[in-house]
Amino acid sequence: MIKMKQFSSLLLLILTIEYIQSKRILYRTYIIERDNRIEEKQLSTYTIYDSTGKNRLYQLKTTSTNIDSLILVNYPAMDIIANLEGEWIDKIFNVTFNIYDKKLNKWIDGIIRIDSSRATGDKYSIVWNSKHFNTKNKFWLSTLLYDTQQKEVVAESRKRHPWFNGGNVKFELKTYSNQFPDAIYFFVVAIDDHRLQVIISDD
């Protein structure tokens, strides 16, 4: 009897989650591919494709000197449309970024803070243009990004297993809102991936 109640509760939970997910409006899907292997705490670059994984849309370029940085450029114009800098590889976490807003014709600053770091994944809080976001990481395999004020999921990224992708590390990113720049989500994917690789290399 108890097992039956537990099964019923689990089934109800699954159906509720599926219902909530079905109500989300999917705006865009990206495939994000790591371009090179991360070694000795060096940053990697990423190419961002459309949902087919064939058409290049953006590239996240990296530099690692005194300050680590990510630069987002678009294809084919190769214009810089967002950039991020700070420290996020080691124990120190201090990250700022800015994104170009076409409508306002200006750059808008943002900041990423780490709320907690656990074996199952990091949690971040993000502020951009007076908007607040937070993330929930599921064992470093998928990440949900929430609009903290509206309490809605605005993006979800999921890591694809390399053995299904010819050995290449790829992520599928789905966006459920048109109100925020996708650059924010790209940055979270890259930072998560970098930090996980450092943990693996330190073990």
Phi, psi of 57 (to 5 degrees): -115, -40
The proportion of the chain whose per-residue pLDDT surpasses 70, expressed as a percent, equals 75
Per the DSSP assignment, residues forming a β-bridge with 33 are 47, 170
The residue among 137 and 29 whose pLDDT is bigger is 29
Average pLDDT of the residues in 50-62:
93
Helix, strand, coil: what percent of the chain each, to 5?
Answer: 20, 45, 30
Residue 133 has pLDDT above 70, yes or no: yes
Q: Are 116 and 122 in contact, with CB atoms under 8 Å apart?
A: yes
Q: How many of the other CB atoms lie within 10 Å of CB of 139?
A: 10
Q: What is the pTM of this model?
A: 0.82
Rg (CA), the chain: 18
Characterize the bridge pairing of strands 131-138 and 121-128. antiparallel
Tokens encoding 85:
């800098």
Tokens encoding 25:
């409006």
- Rounded to whole angstroms, the Cα distance separating 47 from 57 reads 8
Average pLDDT of the residues in 121-131:
89
Average pLDDT of the residues in 139-151:
84
Give me the residue spans of the domains in the chain: 26-202
How high is the mean pLDDT of the chain?
A: 81
Phi, psi of 17 (to 5 degrees): -65, -45
Q: What is the pLDDT of residue 166?
A: 57
- Rounded to whole angstroms, the Cα distance separating 73 from 80 reads 5
> Residue 168: which of 160, 176, 179 has the closest Cα?
160
Q: What is the pLDDT of residue 141?
A: 74
**pLDDT level of residue 73 (50, 70, 90 thresholds):** very high
Q: What is the pLDDT of residue 78?
A: 93
Residue 54 has pLDDT above 80, yes or no: yes
Q: What is the pLDDT of residue 8?
A: 57
- Rounded to whole angstroms, the Cα distance separating 122 from 43 reads 18
Q: What is the pLDDT of residue 194?
A: 85
The distance of Cα 85 from the centroid of its chain, to the nearest Å, equals 16
Q: What is the pLDDT of residue 40?
A: 54
Give yes or no for a cis peptide into 76 (omega within 30° of 0). yes
Q: Mind listing the pLDDT tens digit for each residue in 153-165? A: 999 999 886 665 5
**Which residue type sits at 193?**
D
Q: What is the pLDDT of residue 93?
A: 86
Q: What is the pLDDT of residue 16?
A: 44
Residue 41 has pLDDT above 70, yes or no: no
